[in-house]
């Protein structure tokens, strides 16, 4: 049976507490809300089960990690099967003792695990000490085939790298999806905060333009304190959004509230856009060899 070009997608923007059960329940409530509005694909934000624990380095935090499959994929799989939706969830994966990943997992509409993506680019900056917790991904930039299409899943820091988006598109991704946890240092002035948020939006909209596919970016919202007390914490800026294949903003959340965004995409537009803006046709791969270098000295 031919798949319809019309796909209703949703994202859940939420705040988090230190209660993992409450956070998961909030995510599931958002999924149910989205499904009630006709969503066939629902995207959750990065590490939606917990606070963003990477503000500090604490070995006890590894207790939050879980296997895939495991408790969260079981719970979300049941919801996916009940509602008949595909879910993109972001989990702290325990692959083995002492080996952990920041992993996005896709639950198929029948409740099964369709696939997973392990975050490739791992930051290590003040307030974002992810290298302490996460081993860089080893699954590459491969889309995940689902009943609603081929999903190019990337995670947060990945969203700043055009190479990652391009490789997903080259492998047939019909959507680029970014579960995210990004926010402001409350000590930055308003102008600097706006510059940072605008850069984040522009970067991802550019991936939509350069690859001719829609982008779904789900960010968390709310203030989370620094457990060490050494900083003012992070004010997660929300502004989750869905953009079309020309980078056009289709819907956008605000920077203060928990929201569920739902919109219908016409995937046939990607076909049309790629015909009139054939970037893949005109790439000069015969002159891109130096992209394999860290830097051209």
Q: Annotated active-site positions, please? A: 46, 119, 156
CA–CA dist 89, 16 (Å, integer) = 15
CA–CA dist 295, 199 (Å, integer) = 23
**Where is 210: in which H helix or E strand?**
helix 190-211
**Where is 164: in which H helix or E strand?**
helix 162-170
Residue 163 in tokens: 């190479």
CA–CA dist 50, 24 (Å, integer) = 8
Helix, strand or coil for residue 220?
coil
CA–CA dist 97, 99 (Å, integer) = 6
CA–CA dist 52, 118 (Å, integer) = 17
- Chain centroid to CA 92: how far? 14
């Amino acid at each position: 049976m031919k798949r319809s070009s019309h796909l209703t997608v949703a994202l859940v923007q939420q705040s988090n507490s230190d209660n993992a059960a409450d956070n998961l329940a909030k995510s599931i409530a958002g999924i149910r809300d989205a499904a009630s509005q006709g969503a066939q694909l629902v995207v959750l934000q990065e590490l939606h089960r917990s606070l963003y624990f990477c503000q500090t380095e604490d070995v006890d935090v590894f207790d939050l990690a879980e296997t895939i499959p495991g408790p969260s994929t079981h719970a979300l799989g049941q919801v996916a099967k009940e509602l008949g939706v595909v879910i993109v969830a972001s989990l702290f994966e325990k692959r083995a003792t002492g080996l952990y990943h920041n992993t996005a997992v896709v639950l198929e509409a029948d409740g099964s695990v369709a696939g997973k993506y392990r975050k490739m680019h791992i930051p290590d900056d003040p307030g974002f000490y992810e290298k302490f917790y996460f081993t860089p991904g080893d699954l590459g930039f491969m889309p995940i085939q689902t009943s609603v299409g081929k999903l190019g899943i990337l995670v947060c820091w990945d969203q700043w790298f055009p190479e990652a988006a391009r490789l997903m598109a080259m492998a047939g991704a019909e959507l680029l999806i970014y579960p995210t946890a990004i926010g402001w240092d409350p000590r930055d002035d308003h102008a600097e905060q706006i510059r940072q948020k605008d850069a984040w939006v522009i970067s991802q909209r550019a991936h939509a333009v350069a690859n001719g596919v829609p982008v779904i970016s789900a960010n968390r919202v709310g203030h989370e304190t620094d457990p060490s007390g050494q900083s003012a914490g992070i004010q997660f800026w929300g502004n989750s959004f869905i953009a079309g294949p020309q980078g056009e903003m289709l819907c956008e959340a605000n920077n203060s509230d928990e929201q569920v965004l739902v919109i219908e995409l016409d995937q046939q537009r990607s076909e049309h856009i790629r015909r009139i803006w054939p970037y893949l046709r005109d790439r000069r791969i015969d002159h891109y060899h130096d992209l394999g270098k860290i830097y051209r000295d």
